[in-house]
Amino acid sequence: LTALSASRAQVLACQRDRLRQVLAHAQARSAFWRARLAAAGVTPEHADVEDLQRLPVLTKGEVLAHWDELSAVPGMTRAAAEAHLAALRDGRPDAGTAWTSPATGEQVMFFATGGSSGCRGLFAWDWDHLANSGLAHF
């Protein structure tokens, strides 16, 4: 599907299919999203864009309080992220640039805020997300 030649129906179908893929991934790999989707009655295999209205807005407080449950990468916990960032800060050569999940081999990069609001924000991006986000700025 090329965006410039696609019909409106094709674009909407592509959006719906991609949404279903993202929701299925979240449901399968994140305890937080599994519970939130179930509570809202949203099933990935039947979801449509309109179903997103049934999901409550994810707040910063929820992200900070439920970081481990939000993670969709096995073994990626707040403690693992903090330990990896500390190793990078300390210049440990074994840290590498990316953290690797011992369960799946998936690699992510961690980024953190300074914590001036009281709790430091931690963010994890995989290589595809970094590449796609970077390309979006050019």
On the question of pLDDT at 15 being above 70, the answer is: yes
CA distances to 30, 54, 122 from 76, rounded to whole Å, are: 11, 28, 12
The percent of residues above 90 in pLDDT, for the chain, comes to 54
CA distances to 15, 29, 48, 120 from 108, rounded to whole Å, are: 25, 15, 29, 18
pLDDT one-digit tens code per residue, 56-84: 999 988 998 999 999 999 899 999 999 99
pTM of the model: 0.78
Angle 31-40/8-29 helices, nearest 10 degrees? 120
pLDDT one-digit tens code per residue, 16-37: 999 999 999 999 999 999 999 9
Three-class secondary structure assignment of 114-138:
CCCCCCCCEEEEEHHHHHHHHHHCC
